[in-house]
Amino acid sequence: MKYYLTTPIYYVNAAPHLGTAYSTFAADLIKRFKKMEGYDPVVLTTGSDEHSLKVERAAQAADVNPLAYTTKMAAEFISQWAKLGIDYDHFIRTSDPKHHETVRWLFERCKKNGYIYKGSYTGAYCVSDEAYVNDVNPGDPCPTCGNPTETVTEENYFFKLSAFQKPLLELYEKSPEFVKPDHRRNEMIAFVQQGLNDLSITRTNIQWGIPAPVEGHHVFYVWFDALISYMSAVKDDDLWPADLHLIGKDILRFHAVYWPAFLMAADLPLPKKIFAHGWILHEDNKMSKSRGNVVRPGPIVDVVGADALRYFLLREITFGQDGSFSYDALIQRYNADLANGLGNLASRTLTMIHQYRNGVIPDSPGSSDIAEAARRTTEITMDAFCEFNFSRGLETLWSFISVIDKFIVERAPWKLGKDTSDFAQKMLDEVLYSAAEALRILSAWTHPVMPNSARNIWIQLGMTAPIESVTFADLHWGKLPAGQKIGSVAAVFPRVDASAIVKMENLEVQEKARQAELFGAAKAAVSSAVTPEASAAAGGEKISIDDFVKVELRVGQVVSAERVKGADKLLHMKVDIGEEQPRTIVAGIAESYPAEAMLGRKVVIVANLAPRKLRGIESNGMIVAASLEGGKPVLAGFLEDVPVGARLK
């Protein structure tokens, strides 16, 4: 029985970082786990999303054609995945002609079934998110990412997304496993219940894209294009539908609303499950290039190895929720769990077998108590991994390591080795076999998470069958052959000290410089995406004093604040500026300023801006903040006490 899974198809406007590596590590784990379950074939697709306005502008800024630009960027992903040990089967590029054929084929099916029509569109478009934005004025910030939007007027082809409100809601109800975790499914239900607007799926104002099979110049909208790549990669392999799309929570709407609607319109099978995991936070914010808080996996791998990074992320973070990364936490868990835990168990067990039994596995059934603990461990870990609760599964395995460590200490094999009586030697055989058999089972279980390290332990145990061939039937107690000669003992996880953090940070600086050179054109492209109005505001054009006095700046005090549902960056506030009623203001500062921290705070307000809607809330004013290079806002404030409503001049 086949199992087909995918990672996101990654944008090529930034190099891989811990966030993209996290998605890909998890997909790699699931692939290896499904093989252990007996699925065959198990196929993993990853790839690069290369058609977008951002990419076109980046290529122009680099003075190269878009295909040459994206080829260089795709090669960076392929190189990084090789370094991280990702066992993927297909790397699909959206510039691949095979993919172009599939996109046009699916478009024609949707059109034939009456779900495509020609129309015109005028509205805001966020280049950063490659998404159409509702309820904002020209040049207003995107309510999702905060970057300036652009006004787009085009004659496009539209997809009748509005026709799929009821079918999608029925899908979510009848197939509760379609979107996971459950709270993400509930978000999609709430989104669709609000009503769906038809979606423009072609563009006429860009050149870099897949030409649509229609009259005139039309290229496909990036999200119509990119989603279909999951199908393009395996179109000739009889693997569709996908069993799992693994994605980050920020692109769930495209996968759980647009994608099934496209497939329904084309009368094609839907993927079986979409799982949206959380973000990796660094410095309390989502890791992203625009914030300047990106941590790259390469320097970490150079110091502690890919398996240590894989283990840390999958053990530290509950899959489906946000989690934090720090170098300190990585080193602490490495030493506690890997060096002192699994690594120490492997070293002491194999060393004792060499010392007391000349490197040969003794003939013993092992301890019945340890055998039962192993059975329970396998049962609980199996359930956890099936539910993608990797953290719980790994916690269970490490609890079993503690059981073995305690068993060894209590039996004291170093004392039994000195006692030549038959009873003592039989007990010694039982201890050594139990520890070695537990190590075999642990190696098999940790292989999906830490493939190289598990393989290393497996070989040191003297196992002849490849660890990649292990199935769950092989995890029953007693499969370790008596009389088997073990290999040489070598440390799998040598301890590291605080100097490892310094090494990683120094290598991070070097890697950042290398990637900055590689992706240098992208920075220039970002500036070219800023609207003329925003450029003027940034100081690119002088204004007169008459223009300045038109801006009414006043002192305000925040009297209430709460996050805007479904928008990670937005705070909904009531601000007293000395008027009869407090102003309602929506500001993109939630990731830097918690709602509770804003209560009672005095801020600077632009009081005479025209009202605008953000996420359905009418905002009457703007809070003034400095924008740092990393994208983190810092609110303007006062060193002395100033009255509410005072005007700034």
pLDDT tens figures, 152-209? 777 899 999 999 999 999 999 999 999 999 999 999 999 999 999 999 999 888 889 9
Window from 102-106, 245-249, 288-292 with minimum mean pLDDT: 288-292
For residue 538, what pLDDT is reported? 38
Query: How far apart (Å, rounded) are the C-alpha atoms in residues 43 and 88?
Result: 7
Judgement on whether residues 288 and 403 belong to the same structural domain of the protein:
no
Q: DSSP alpha helices (H): ranges in 152-304?
A: 165-174, 182-193, 222-227, 229-232, 252-253, 259-265, 297-304
**Helix (H, G, I), strand (E, B), or coil: what is residue 618?**
strand
Q: How many beta carbons lie within 10 A of that of residue 376, not counting itself?
A: 13
**CATH number of the CATH domain containing 549:** 2.40.50.140
Q: How many beta carbons lie within 10 A of that of residue 483, not counting itself?
A: 8
How do beta strands 199-200 and 633-635 pair? unpaired
| CA distance readout (Å), 333 to 441, 446, 477 | 22, 16, 29
For residue 585, what pLDDT is reported? 92
Judgement on whether residues 552 and 452 belong to the same structural domain of the protein:
no
Question: Considering the domain boundaries, does residue 78 fall inside one?
Answer: yes
When pLDDT is averaged across residues 241-252 and rounded to a whole number, the result is 96
**Last-in-domain residue among 475, 495, 526:** 475
DSSP 8-state secondary structure symbol assigned to residue 8: E
Judgement on whether residues 205 and 134 belong to the same structural domain of the protein:
yes
Query: How far apart (Å, rounded) are the C-alpha atoms in residues 626 and 382?
Result: 50
Query: How far apart (Å, rounded) are the C-alpha atoms in residues 446 and 390?
Result: 11
Question: Considering the domain boundaries, does residue 103 fall inside one?
Answer: yes
Mean pLDDT of the chain: 90
Question: Considering the domain boundaries, does residue 632 fall inside one?
Answer: yes
Q: What is the pTM of this model?
A: 0.78
Per the rule left: phi > 0, alpha: psi between -120 and 50, beta: everything else, 414 is alpha
Name, of 368-382, 541-555, 601-615, the range with top average pLDDT. 368-382
Judgement on whether residues 281 and 371 belong to the same structural domain of the protein:
no
Judgement on whether residues 293 and 332 belong to the same structural domain of the protein:
no
Judgement on whether residues 454 and 382 belong to the same structural domain of the protein:
yes
Judgement on whether residues 593 and 637 belong to the same structural domain of the protein:
yes
Tokens at 299, concatenated? 């320097």
**Cβ contacts of 520 within 8 Å, gap of 6 or more:** 62
Judgement on whether residues 240 and 337 belong to the same structural domain of the protein:
no
What sign does the dihedral 51-53-58-62 (CA atoms) show? positive
- Give the residue with greater pLDDT, 287 vs 34: 34
**Last-in-domain residue among 475, 508, 523:** 475
Starting at the earlier edge strand, list the strands of the sheet with 116-126: 131-133, 116-126, 150-159, 199-200
When pLDDT is averaged across residues 233-253 and rounded to a whole number, the result is 95
For residue 284, what pLDDT is reported? 60
Query: How far apart (Å, rounded) are the C-alpha atoms in residues 272 and 260?
Result: 10
Query: How far apart (Å, rounded) are the C-alpha atoms in residues 96 and 113?
Result: 26
Judgement on whether residues 346 and 284 belong to the same structural domain of the protein:
no
Query: How far apart (Å, rounded) are the C-alpha atoms in residues 232 and 291?
Result: 33
For residue 466, what pLDDT is reported? 97
When pLDDT is averaged across residues 377-401 and rounded to a whole number, the result is 98
pLDDT at 30 exceeding the cut of 90: yes
Query: How far apart (Å, rounded) are the C-alpha atoms in residues 525 and 165?
Result: 37
Q: Could you please report the per-residue DSSP string of 425-467?
A: HHHHHHHHHHHHHHHHHHHHHHTTTSHHHHHHHHHHTT--S-G
Which residues sit opposite 202 in a β-bridge? 220
Tokens at 459, concatenated? 């070989």
When pLDDT is averaged across residues 540-556 and rounded to a whole number, the result is 75
**CATH number of the CATH domain containing 214:** 3.40.50.620
439-486 residue pLDDT tens? 999 999 999 999 999 999 999 999 999 999 999 999 999 999 999 999
Question: Considering the domain boundaries, does residue 272 fall inside one?
Answer: yes
For residue 145, what pLDDT is reported? 67
551-573 residue pLDDT tens? 889 999 998 899 888 777 788 99
Chain-centroid distance of CA 45 in Å reads 15
Window from 115-129, 151-165, 351-365, 600-614 with minimum mean pLDDT: 115-129
215-227 residue pLDDT tens? 889 999 888 999 9
| pLDDT confidence band for 631 (50 / 70 / 90) | low
Q: How many beta carbons lie within 10 A of that of residue 510, not counting itself?
A: 12
pLDDT at 539 exceeding the cut of 70: no
DSSP 8-state secondary structure symbol assigned to residue 559: E
Judgement on whether residues 116 and 250 belong to the same structural domain of the protein:
yes
| CA distance readout (Å), 641 to 48, 557, 634, 637 | 53, 12, 19, 10
Strands of 224-308, DSSP E: 244-248, 274-277, 280-282, 285-286
For residue 579, what pLDDT is reported? 86
Query: How far apart (Å, rounded) are the C-alpha atoms in residues 353 and 351?
Result: 5
Judgement on whether residues 289 and 361 belong to the same structural domain of the protein:
no
Q: What number of helices (H) and strands (E) belong to the chain?
A: 24, 25
Q: What is the number of structural domains in the chain?
A: 3
For residue 638, what pLDDT is reported? 81
455 neighbors 346 (Cβ within 8 angstroms): no
**Cβ contacts of 170 within 8 Å, gap of 6 or more:** none
Tokens at 169, concatenated? 């809601």
Question: Considering the domain boundaries, does residue 428 fall inside one?
Answer: yes
**Last-in-domain residue among 475, 505, 533:** 475
pLDDT at 59 exceeding the cut of 90: no
For residue 270, what pLDDT is reported? 98
The range of the structural domain enclosing residue 567 comes to 545-648
For residue 359, what pLDDT is reported? 97
Question: Considering the domain boundaries, does residue 317 fall inside one?
Answer: no
For residue 104, what pLDDT is reported? 97
521-536 residue pLDDT tens? 344 333 333 333 333 3
Tell me the residue length of the chain.
Answer: 649
Judgement on whether residues 342 and 211 belong to the same structural domain of the protein:
no
Question: Considering the domain boundaries, does residue 210 fall inside one?
Answer: yes
Tokens at 219, concatenated? 């290229």
Question: Considering the domain boundaries, does residue 493 fall inside one?
Answer: no
